[in-house]
Amino acid sequence: MLENSMLYPRNSKTRRTVSLDGMWKIKFDPDSEGREKRWQDGLKDADLIPVPASFADFYTDKDIREYTGDFWYETDVFVPEEWKGNKVFVRFGCATHRAVVFVNGKEITSHEGGFLPLLADITENTRFNEFNRVSVLVNNELTVTNIPCGETRVLKNGKKMSKPYFDFYNYSGLQRPVKLVMVPEEYVFDFTVDHKLFGSDAEVSYSVVTTGKHPVEVRVLDEEGREVALSSGREGKLVIKNVRPWEVLDSYLYTFAVRILDGSRIIDEYTEEIGIRTVEVVHDSILINQKPVYLKGFGKHEDSDIVGRGFNIGMMKRDFECMKWTGANSFRTSHYPYSEEIYQMADREGFLVIDEVAAVGMFESLMNFMEASTGKKTAFFEKETTPQLLENHLKAIEEMITRDKNHACVIAWSLLNEPETTDKAAVPYFEKVFAKAHELDVQKRPRTFALVMNSLPGTCSCYQFADIISLNRYYGWYMMGGYEISDAEEAFRREMDEWKELGLDRPFLFTEYGADTSAMEHKLPSVMWSQEYQMEYLKMCHRVFDSYSFIKGEQVWNFADFQTTEGIMRVNGNKKGIFTRQRQPKDAAWYFRERWKSLPRDY
Ligand code: GCB
């Protein structure tokens, strides 16, 4: 069990949250001297910066944008007198990639992993009815023992530089909402649900973990606020008659209110809106509420102008509107768990989410995602550093599943993106990763990982672990692009025929396929990078998908253009978006709208 509660901070009869979003102080610490020089006692000559946001794209100075190393954030937080006798936390949606939190100069906690929450219990060090200084020492260096994987290089001029093994910009900082949270001394620490549907009724099994001994009750309210089920005890079953299940693109959310009681006195109350649905893989079908579904949608990124990977509520709204407009029903949180607010929105919109842990870059070489298709032997998983990497990976899986398990939208876990699987050394690593997810998830959702181009039926030693086989394929882009596209289609079909011959009786998904396309470029006849070629490429892929009945979904790469490290392969970022980075449609968006709006649910 995790040390801290992962429950989303909400107000209730007994709980309080105060947003700490706004302008914070920031100061870079290139010599890592801050801690020794006691910067935790107050930052001098600091700049001001918005939270939540990545720091990189606010500045006009390239040394700041590319800054790699330690940096500090600081703000003053007023803690009300009335909160005395309760527990007080500062909760960061994330601190990328690792952080140490200080309150009033005292070190409170630290956390590794930049895409999951960090909770600092400041109860003991809070001065009530006064301002308290919260300082955070963040570090954004990449290593091969942490996820996502990469390296940090030192240039001849002494400056550090991030070398990601992955294809997205190494944005960092306090990128998600920060909240001051008060809960009672005895509080609801964790809450888990699992659903079964029987005819028109549902049975929800639940379990509650609290920090004390008082009795627990759980009640369920419908969207009109009517109580539809009630049960007492830390574990139990709630029966909901004439249930309205959560459906694909037709959401319905019940409110679950978990209470700790002392007679009629409510010691703590925690509420969560939860959709009731089942997910299963049966033969080669993905079933939601026992009915097959075909996934249509995107691999995404949390990425936008100026704020980088910072959570942006307006961008979130726009993204869902664009996705709905195309007729999509799903997305993958490539390549890291997203802000919790995005899953709440997906719950509300009835979107299906493949929730991916930040296990990306698990190839030896730099620009690994490119080298991956060359078949180069690397044996990433038999290095001295592998045990440490595995430990961090397993911890991130535990945090992700604990955080996201109750979301109806989460229908599968993606446990790695494009790892090296051609060497047998990957097998024991995969075994542990897949077992961990199975053990932790009471709903036993399907597990998957995205297979890189060289992970083929004859070369991949790990596909057997996946309940859903997810392929990232770029026939017609990274290989046999342009006028060779007819050969690409032939090679693509050959691979799919080989999968078919294996007779795996499992659903296949395309979690990536795409072609870089400049929104400015038109050319007749097509050339690579033109909008015309993107369409030609997509139509070729869809012809292949439509030929195999075990293919149960297509998530194109990418929803929108996004920022990457600079280099000869990228023109100021990855341009495979169906939308531009400003969320305006390329021609392909209209094509998807036509295709997806006409595909039946169980295509
Ligand atoms: C991939 C990676 C993704 C890249 C994409 C690309 O296979 O999973 O992170 O952005 O290819 O465009 O090359």
Identify the CATH number of the domain in which residue 494 sits: 3.20.20.80
Pocket lining: 564 vs ligand 1, CB cutoff 6 Å: no
Residues 179 and 192 in one domain: no
Is the bond leading into 97 cis (omega within 30 degrees of zero)?
A: yes
Averages of pLDDT over runs of 10 residues in the chain (603 residues) are: 95 98 98 98 98 98 98 98 98 98 98 98 97 98 96 97 96 98 98 97 98 98 98 98 98 98 98 98 98 98 98 98 98 98 98 98 66 62 93 98 98 97 94 98 98 96 98 98 98 98 98 97 98 98 98 98 96 98 98 96 82
Domain for residue 1, yes or no?
no
Question: Catalytic residue positions?
Answer: 418, 512
Domain for residue 9, yes or no?
no
Residues 172 and 113 in one domain: yes
Domain for residue 530, yes or no?
yes
pLDDT value of position 363: 84
Backbone angle region of 495, left / alpha / beta, with phi > 0 → left and psi within -120 to 50 → alpha? alpha
- Taking the CB of residue 198, how many other CB atoms lie within 10 A of it? 9
The residue among 277, 301, 316 that closes a domain is: 277
The H or E element that residue 499 is part of is: helix 485-502
Residues 65 and 132 in one domain: yes
Pocket lining: 470 vs ligand 1, CB cutoff 6 Å: no
Domain for residue 2, yes or no?
no
Nearest CA to ligand 1 atom 11: 369
Ligand 1 centroid to Cα of residue 368, in Å, is: 10
Q: How many Å apart are CA 561 and CA 578, to the nearest integer?
A: 8
Nearest CA to ligand 1 atom 5: 167
Pocket lining: 40 vs ligand 1, CB cutoff 6 Å: no
The residue among 252, 277, 302 that closes a domain is: 277
Domain hosting residue 268, numbered range? 188-277
Domain for residue 471, yes or no?
yes
Residues 167 and 214 in one domain: no
Q: How many Å apart are CA 288 and CA 312, to the nearest integer?
A: 30
Scan for tokens 């490119």, then name that residue: 370
The residue among 183, 206, 222 that closes a domain is: 183
Q: Which two tokens stand for residue 72?
A: 């500090």
Residues 197 and 168 in one domain: no
Instruction: Give the ipTM of the model, two decimals please.
Output: 0.99
Q: Which atom of ligand 1 is nearest to the CA of 335?
A: 9
Q: Which atom of ligand 1 is nearest to the CA of 564?
A: 10
Say how many domains are in the chain.
3
Domain for residue 383, yes or no?
yes
List beta partners, residue 412. Answer: 354
pLDDT value of position 597: 97
Residues 221 and 132 in one domain: no
Ligand 1 centroid to Cα of residue 90, in Å, is: 35
pLDDT value of position 383: 87
Q: How many Å apart are CA 140 and CA 68, to the nearest integer?
A: 6
Residues 497 and 397 in one domain: yes
- Taking the CB of residue 163, how many other CB atoms lie within 10 A of it? 14
Ligand 1 centroid to Cα of residue 167, in Å, is: 6
Ligand 1 centroid to Cα of residue 441, in Å, is: 28
Q: How many Å apart are CA 245 and CA 251, to the nearest integer?
A: 8
The 10 Å CB-count burial string (b at 16+, else e) for 587-597 is bbbebbbebbe
Identify the CATH number of the domain in which residue 150 sits: 2.60.120.260
Pocket lining: 559 vs ligand 1, CB cutoff 6 Å: no
Residues 159 and 296 in one domain: no
pLDDT value of position 365: 59
Give the mutation target among 303, 362, 557 for probing the ligand 1 site: most ligand atoms within 8 A of CB: 557
Domain for residue 66, yes or no?
yes
Residues 64 and 158 in one domain: yes
Residues 163 and 248 in one domain: no
Pocket lining: 368 vs ligand 1, CB cutoff 6 Å: no
The 10 Å CB-count burial string (b at 16+, else e) for 323-362 is bebbbbbbbbbbbbbbbbebbbbbbebbbbbbbbbbbbbb
Ligand 1 centroid to Cα of residue 353, in Å, is: 19
Residues 335 and 349 in one domain: yes
Residues 265 and 298 in one domain: no
Domain for residue 283, yes or no?
no
Pocket lining: 364 vs ligand 1, CB cutoff 6 Å: no
Scan for tokens 């199975």, then name that residue: 438
**438-492 pLDDT tens trace:** 999 999 999 999 999 999 999 999 999 999 999 999 999 999 999 999 999 999 9
Identify the CATH number of the domain in which residue 226 sits: 2.60.40.10
Pocket lining: 455 vs ligand 1, CB cutoff 6 Å: no
Pocket lining: 336 vs ligand 1, CB cutoff 6 Å: no
Nearest CA to ligand 1 atom 4: 167
